[in-house]
Structure 1
Amino acid sequence: MFIYLYLPLLFITLYTITQHFLHKILNHPPTPFPTLPLFGHIYLLSTNPKLPLHRTLSSISDRHGPITFLQLGSRPVLLVSSPSAAKQCFTENDVVFANRPNLLNGKHFGYNFTSLQWSSYGDHWRNLRRISSVELLSSHQLNLRSGILKYEARALIRKILGNFSDSNEIVGLRSVFFEYSYNVVMRMITGEEEEGGEIGGSVVFEEIVGEMARVTIDANVIDFVPFVGSIWGWFWNVEEKMVLVQRKRDEFMKNVIEECLRRREGGGGGGAGGGCGKKDLIQILKDLQKKESEYYTDEAIRNLLLVLVQGATHTTSTTLEWALSLLLKNPAILQKARTQIENHTQNKCLITLSDLPEIPYLRCIINETLRMHPAAPLLTPHVSSEKCMIGGFDIPRGTILLVNAWDIQNNSEIWEEPEKFMPERFEGDKIYEFKYFPFGWGRRACPGENLAINMVGIVLGCLIQCFDWESVGEIDMSEGGGVITEKVEPLCVKFVPRDFVLDFFS
């Protein structure tokens, strides 16, 4: 009878040993031992639950090498944490890894979650990418819409000034930064004129983004461990939560589009591309829909706009919070940036986008912030469409690729004193190929890099120029979890407006 008690243990032992040698025979990258049935290496992710995922994966790479093969439940994963391996993935194997993994699959829930899934690499993806780049994110379009960033940067300064009554006033900036990012992107896609007043909806959208981030973690359990995940999903009502947040997102963007169309029909706002005399993105998509209604469906338009708005708002606001936090912890760097700004402007005006190239230290600060705290530390996952070779190892088709950009950008063998905030390391024309790539690389790199740098640059410059800042106690720099890594504790500050600012806005 006791033999039956030992059978499960015997099975697990034989399974783990077989898997270990099978990986060697198939020439897969080094893999941690043991690989458990059903769960694979998921147990490694729970060794220190307080650590964010990118730091946990970094410790795994430290033990097993910069190219590590993981079995996360039912999903094979290639973990890369070296510049040379990342270069192989994003150059000679760029097409192989041009697809995204099919996560949050609607079949688990009996609901269509296409707006939460990435588009497969192909003609459809290339068309959406072209529309986004040509009509919104190109340098030409950003120049045409530069007035939006100028207007919203000043609106943010006014908002902060409105909270000032005395030097002991404490202000939380997370929602302020999110509202700014949201307003910029929303004005760009709707063509709302700067003089059109408040955009509205940032609070609601911030709640939707937060809810999506929380529910996604539970839903991913179902993606990686379907059998256990189904029980987990039932216990935590994941299906109901996913359906609810998806409907909220759809309804939100549907209302945005309808309001934009109503304004245009009524002759008030919209349609002018933010004062640049050009059609807004919604109008462009609606015109395309008239020609190809089966392709440019209402759902397809909503999904594209949701991707653009959500992708730009959360990452930009998070980067602004990290940047100001780092400056408050390094007042000498903040003062150096302020001196460069004042030498350029003489405090006769607030900085604009055209001033940014003349204030290079500000860009160094942004680069160093993104090096230490990339908005998406693991970038966005890729998946191999066919068998390939990385670092001399065979990578099977259908393997998820996770490139730990945080690990590479904070590696002491690559960077001098990586834990130290040193914007000076980015001065000059230094090239950090595959040692620094917070926006990804290759075909599916983030197309909004220029927009993000401009959005962060103009506001960060104005904040440095306009206020004397003081932190409230010791600033907690702990990182949260999730795809977009926020500070665990929101940044709360005290501030005093500088004299010229009060005169400027009087």
Structure 2
Amino acid sequence: MDYLFGYIPLIIALHIFTKHSLRKLKNLPPSPLLNLPIFGHLHLLEKPLYRSLAKISDSYGPILLLQFGSRRVLVVSSPSSAEECLHKNDIIFANRPNLIAGKHIGNDYTTVVWSPYGDHWRNLRKISSIELLSTHRLEMLQSVRTDEIKDMIKTLHRYSDARQTVDMKTAFYDMMMNVMMRMIAGKKYYGENVEDIKMAKRFREIVHDTPRIVGATRIQDFLPVLRWLGAGGAEKRLVMLQKKRDMFMQELVEQCKKGMVSTAAGEVGRKDNTMIEVLLKLQEKEPEYYTDRIIRNLVMARGTNTSAGTMEWALSLLLNNPEVLKKAQTEIDNHIGNERIINESDIANLPY
């Protein structure tokens, strides 16, 4: 038996040499030499992932090919290369891989985030850009964003008076979640003045559980053997999570339906300005396409993490570059003054 183990390094070396030779023959992008059987280049990854990939890119160039278990991954790390992929060859790179999260969280790859490029995806994108996120629609909902920004500023002011430390990442995230959910369903679930405490608690639990449970299934996307070895508990939790998400969003849809009926009957109701209400109006015209499932799928697509993360990074960079912060403050003082907060209409006069 011992002599068999002696062949293992030889087998690994042969595997690496074969992979390397095939890559050159196929004219594929550069790739780290140590491509292990089964695991590929997973052994090179460390947290945080973006720094790990940047380190590898520094050694192999702005475009490189990695093998994450059973999947090949193209890493593009320069602006010009990204433009080549996402602008000039956007249709080629339009699809997402069929990951476990897309199967369950993406309702079998039917949401705008997970749907493959085609008629269905184009229609979802058209609805999103014209009906939900058009300039006119965003202008109608400007008061929502203004309200939430003012609430956050008041909260920060109280913390400042009390000389308490503020976690800006959490502050930005809570604000963005409230903006998004008020645009979607007319409800806020974070901070003060939350109307439905029970619904808010359920929503926050779902939001908290989603990245944790989705993240637990990621390794199975690259090492499917783990699913066969009985590590399917994470996927079962993903299925249960999606049931909770669907149930919660369906309740919001039903509440909006009741509100629209009350308004039509002459009762005092909110204006028809939420995303769900817009989609329900379309459902009245084309019920065969705008099903409740389609509506749930459309309003579940959010950008809260990216928006909050962008603001956090911007604030961090400003604080670490005081001369830039001073220049921005001077421009605001000259054009806006200090008697009011900035409005979205002011942005055109604030080029810096």
Shift of 1:122: 1.0
In the alignment, which of 346, 352, 355 is matched to residue 346 of structure 2? Answer: 355
* Matched residue, 2:277: 283
Q: Larger strand proportion, structure 1 or 2? A: 1
> Amino acid of the residue matched to residue 241 of structure 1?
R
Q: Quote how far apart the aligned CAs of 1:291 are.
A: 4.1
Per the alignment, residue 84 of structure 2 pairs with 88
| Residue among 306, 327, 333 paired with 2:300 | 306
Is the contact made by 1:191 and 1:271 (CA closer than 8 Å) also made in structure 2? no
Contact 1:40 1:72 in 2 (8 A): yes
Which of 255, 263, 270 is residue 259 of structure 1 equivalent to? 255
Correspondence for 1:328: 319
Question: Counterparts of 1:66-465 in structure 2 under 5 Å?
Answer: 66-104=62-100, 114=109, 118-163=114-159, 165-166=161-162, 168-190=163-185, 198=194, 204-231=202-229, 233-234=231-232, 237-267=233-263, 268-273=268-273, 280-307=274-301, 311-361=302-352
Kindly indicate whether the alpha-carbon contact (under 8 Å) linking 1:174 and 1:317 is maintained by their aligned counterparts in 2. yes
Equivalent position amino acid for 1:71 in 2: Q
Q: Work out whether residues 179 and 202 of structure 1, in 8 Å CA contact, stay in contact via their aligned partners in 2.
A: no
Give the 3-state SS of the residue equivalent to 2:56 in structure 1.
helix
Contact 2:109 2:116 in 1 (8 A): no
Deviation at 1:182, TM superposition (A): 1.9
For residues 82 and 345 of structure 1, the distance between their equivalents in structure 2, rounded to whole angstroms, comes to: 37
1:203 is displaced (CA, Å) by 6.2
Q: Which runs of 5+ in 1 are unaligned?
A: 274-279, 362-506
1:10 match: 10
1:200-240 deviation line (CA, Å, top 9, x unaligned): 66665454334222222221111111003544734xx3123
Deviation of 1:320 after TM superposition, in Å, equals: 2.3
**Would the alpha carbon gap of residues 224 and 174 (structure 1) be closer, same or farther in structure 2, given more than 3 Å must change?**
same
In structure 2, C-alpha distance between the alignment counterparts of 1:356 and 1:322, rounded to whole Å: 20
d(CA) in 2 for partners of 1:263, 1:43: 54
How far apart, in 1, do the equivalents of 2:184 and 2:139 lie? 15
Find the aligned partners of 2:20 and 2:200 in 1 and give their Cα distance: 50
- Paired residue secondary structure (2:345): helix
Mapped to 2, the partners of 1:134 and 1:351 lie a distance apart of 27
In the superposition, relative to structure 1, how do residues 174 and 85 fare at CA in structure 2: closer, same or farther (>3 Å)? closer
Deviation by residue 1:436-471 (Cα, 9 ceiling, x = unmatched): xxxxxxxxxxxxxxxxxxxxxxxxxxxxxxxxxxxx
CA distance in 2, matches of 1:125, 1:175: 33
User: Do the aligned partners of residues 189 and 217 (structure 1) sit closer, same or farther apart at CA in structure 2, a change above 3 Å counting?
Assistant: closer
Q: How far does residue 263 in structure 1 lie from its aligned partner after superposition?
A: 2.9
Report if aligned partners of 1:67, 1:79 keep a CA contact under 8 Å in 2. Answer: yes
Matched residue SS, 2:94: coil
Q: Which is bigger in relative contact order (C-alpha 8 A, separation at least 6)?
A: 1
Contact 2:149 2:175 in 1 (8 A): yes
- Residue 127 of structure 1 and its aligned partner are, at CA, apart by 0.8
Q: 1:105 to 1:319 in 2, by over 3 A?
A: closer
Alpha-carbon separation, structure 2, partners of 1:210 and 1:152 = 21
2:51 matches 1:55: yes
Q: CA deviation at 1:112?
A: 5.6
* TM-score calculated relative to the size of structure 1: 0.61
**How far is 1:31 from its partner?**
1.6
Instruction: Tell me how far apart the structure 1 counterparts of residues 142 and 205 of structure 2 sit (CA, whole Å).
Output: 28
* Greater CA drift, 225-234 or 341-350: 225-234
Provide the secondary structure at the position in 2 that maps to 1:70: strand
Letter in 2 for 1:87: E
Alignment length (residue pairs): 340
- RMSD of the TM alignment (CA)? 2.9
Letter of the 1:305 counterpart = V
The CA deviation at 1:136 is 2.5
Which residue identity lines up with residue 182 of structure 1 in the other structure? M
- How has the CA–CA distance of structure 1 residues 88 and 175 changed in structure 2, closer, same or farther, with 3 Å as cutoff? closer
C-alpha change, 1:323 and 1:89, in structure 2 (3 Å) is closer
Report the more deviating stretch, 261-270 or 58-67: 261-270
* Contact 1:222–1:230 (Cα < 8 Å) also in 2: no
